Amino acid sequence: MGTSRTKGSPAGSVLRAVHQRFVTGEIDAQHLDPAAVRPVIADSWRRSLATGVDPDRGGAQFTPVVPKTLDQIRADQPISAALPVIRKLLVEDAKDSGVMVAVAAADGTLLWVEGDPTALSKGEAMNFVPGANWSESSAGTNAPGTALALDRELQIHGSEHFARLVQPWTCTAVPVHDPTTGELIGCVDLTGDSQIASAQTLGLVRATVMAIENHLALQRLLQPAANPVIAARLTVLGGDRPRWIATGDDGQPHQHTLSGRHADILVLLSRHPEGLSADHLAMLLDDNDLDSVTIRVEMSRLRRVIGAQYVASRPYRLLTPIESDVAEVFAALHRGDVDAALSHYSGALLPQSVSPAIARLRTELGESLRTAVLSASAAGHVGLLRRWLALPDGRDDRHGWQLLRNHPSADPVVRAQAVGHLAGLDADLG
């Protein structure tokens, strides 16, 4: 199936010549003329070359998985539940139209490839078959693989494909997201000749994906009520490494030590139940503004650590409230229970964090507790004051030590300790 000049794509002969010069090293991606190669394609060619994709083999280098393994892969993919919708909306009309319909998992594995028998036979020649890995890093620039890599809908025209074996084809792919969490779960692709590279084709695939996501959402609404969401706890106060503790399927608590960045994210999400966009979260985490790709990578890693059932996307938000020591301190202060607040407070919030938003929250929490303790001390509660001064935050609290020294309820030994500590602070200043 040959290609022709299509809207938004340069002429095939020109593009093939540019592709040849690129793969042979005559020109690099940074010097590709955007009038000849779309920037999104140039970037994909660069990534394909960097990951070692062979332009003369492409998809043909893959070994399909055995049927039993493929059945298991399909069973584990949430997009599989929407296969009847895909067949109804796309496959039935593709059987005699020269078009293949492919359904891919989020990692680029083709789960189903159905449609026109002649097209399917030609697709087999380049290993465009169920079980083959058509991720961009394995197959080079192609609609399903690149759409998944970028998490965006995409049309690839003929010679825009990185592998020459795939260049007789034109493809349109749209990612599919979990309707609850927003997580990328796969994509739907239409592959055929140049005539399918149209706005109408893109609209058809986009509408099918909307139907898929609605179908998955409806299925969940109709399912019997599941067991309550697994309880989870976040510990982020004090000098110890931040920890995530959740009850597993076996009914036992499982503890995970968190990276500083993941702990920052969970604290910020817990303080923003309305959710945060990738850009807003990036700004809160770093004054230099992390890019949205970095945020998506971190969120993907975080889900692998704690479980995807806790965090949703678009915007990023907690799917269920979680317990945390920082929330317990704030709650106790809100109730006016300074004793309970001190009991929950084991030290500063994520003291190693350089996130500007965490730094502000750390200051807010520490100063709120300190003010509450000093106010309680003025009302006669010297025990609360002594507990505060025993914490790392209170060791250099000169005003607090002066209150203890002068407190009418303090015994002589306690006053003497306060006098000595104040002398030490003065020596440090000297």
User: Is 148 within the bounds of a domain?
Assistant: yes
Query: Are the C-beta atoms of 1 and 192 separated by less than 8 Å?
Result: yes
Gap between the Cα atoms of 198 and 205, Å rounded:
11
pLDDT digits (tens, 9 = 90+) for 64-110: 555 558 888 998 899 999 999 999 999 888 777 889 999 999 999 99
Instruction: Give the Cβ contact number of residue 82 at 10 Å.
Output: 24
Q: Check whether residue 183 and residue 243 sit in a common domain.
A: no
Q: Check whether residue 66 and residue 201 sit in a common domain.
A: yes
Phi, psi of 253 (to 5 degrees): -70, 140
pLDDT digits (tens, 9 = 90+) for 136-156: 999 999 999 999 999 999 999
User: Is 139 within the bounds of a domain?
Assistant: yes
Gap between the Cα atoms of 166 and 163, Å rounded:
6
Tell me how many domains the chain contains.
2
Structural domain for 62, as ranges:
53-222
The residue out of 205, 222, 239 marking a domain boundary is 222
Gap between the Cα atoms of 350 and 414, Å rounded:
31
User: Is 154 within the bounds of a domain?
Assistant: yes
- Residue 64 is part of a domain; what is its CATH number? 3.30.450.40
The residue out of 189, 222, 255 marking a domain boundary is 222
Q: Check whether residue 232 and residue 218 sit in a common domain.
A: no
User: Is 21 within the bounds of a domain?
Assistant: no
Q: Check whether residue 71 and residue 161 sit in a common domain.
A: yes
pTM of the model: 0.59
The per-residue pLDDT for 1 is: 32
The per-residue pLDDT for 66 is: 55
Residue 247 bridge partners (DSSP):
253
**Gyration radius of the chain over CA positions:** 29
Q: Check whether residue 59 and residue 199 sit in a common domain.
A: yes
User: Is 173 within the bounds of a domain?
Assistant: yes
Q: Check whether residue 297 and residue 237 sit in a common domain.
A: yes
Q: Check whether residue 86 and residue 160 sit in a common domain.
A: yes
User: Is 417 within the bounds of a domain?
Assistant: no
Q: Check whether residue 191 and residue 282 sit in a common domain.
A: no
Closest CA to 276 of 252, 247, 296, 306: 296
Q: Check whether residue 184 and residue 57 sit in a common domain.
A: yes
Closest CA to 393 of 361, 426, 346: 346
Per-residue H/E/C for the chain: CCCCCCCCCCCHHHHHHHHHHHHCCCCCHHHCCCCCCCHHHHHHHHHHHHCCCCCCCHHHHCCCCCHHHHHHHHHHCHHHHHHHHHHHHHHHHHCCCCCEEEEEECCCEEEEEEECHHHHHHHHHCCCCCCCECCHHHHCCCHHHHHHHHCCCEEECHHHCCCHHHCCCEEEEEEEECCCCCCEEEEEEEEECHHHCCHHHHHHHHHHHHHHHHHHHHHHHHCCCCCCCCCEEEECECCCCCEEEEECCCCCEEEEECCHHHHHHHHHHHHCCCCECHHHHHHHHCCCCCCHHHHHHHHHHHHHHHCHHHEECCCEEECCCCEEHHHHHHHHHHHCCHHHHHHHCCCCECCCCCCHHHHHHHHHHHHHHHHHHHHHHHCCCHHHHHHHHCCHHHCCCHHHHHHHHHCCCCCHHHHHHHHHHHHHHHHHHC
Q: Cα torsion for 312, 313, 315, 321, to the nearest 10°?
A: 10
Residues in the chain, pLDDT under 70: 1-12, 58-68, 224-230, 289, 430
User: Is 135 within the bounds of a domain?
Assistant: yes
The residue out of 203, 222, 241 marking a domain boundary is 222
Q: Check whether residue 200 and residue 290 sit in a common domain.
A: no
The per-residue pLDDT for 224 is: 62
Q: Which residue has the tokens 């020294």?
A: 405
Q: Check whether residue 125 and residue 271 sit in a common domain.
A: no
Gap between the Cα atoms of 80 and 64, Å rounded:
19
Q: Check whether residue 196 and residue 264 sit in a common domain.
A: no
The per-residue pLDDT for 3 is: 33
User: Is 108 within the bounds of a domain?
Assistant: yes
